[in-house]
Amino acid sequence: MTTDQQSETSTTALQVACDTAVSGCVFRMRTEEDDKDRLLEIARDHVNEQHGKEVTLEEIDEQHVETVEV
């Protein structure tokens, strides 16, 4: 019943969370690692539209994205 060899399936996901605690923003999103580009773009658009701040995809990637176990 133990199937140790099945650990090849990805068990991690990417999560992005908006860090603007000041404004009480609770924006958070999780996607599969394959979807990273889309995740970064959505987060960037969110920060731009909701907080009026210009951020690059790189900044989002470095500061807001974390890998989580699922």
Residues that bind Zn ion in the complex, under the rule CB under 5 A? 18, 20, 25, 27, 50
The smaller minimum CB distance to Zn ion, of residues 12 and 20, is found at 20
Look at residues 17, 11, 10 and name the one whose alpha carbon lies nearest to residue 39.
Answer: 17
The CB-of-21 to Zn ion minimum distance in angstroms stands at: 10
Nearer to Zn ion, 32 or 45 (CB): 45
Q: Which two tokens stand for residue 66?
A: 């974390």
User: At its nearest, how many Å lie between Zn ion and the CB of residue 41?
Assistant: 15
Strand, helix or coil for residue 14:
strand
Q: Whole-angstrom Cα distance, residue 10 to residue 8?
A: 6
- 27 vs 55, which CB is nearer to Zn ion? 27
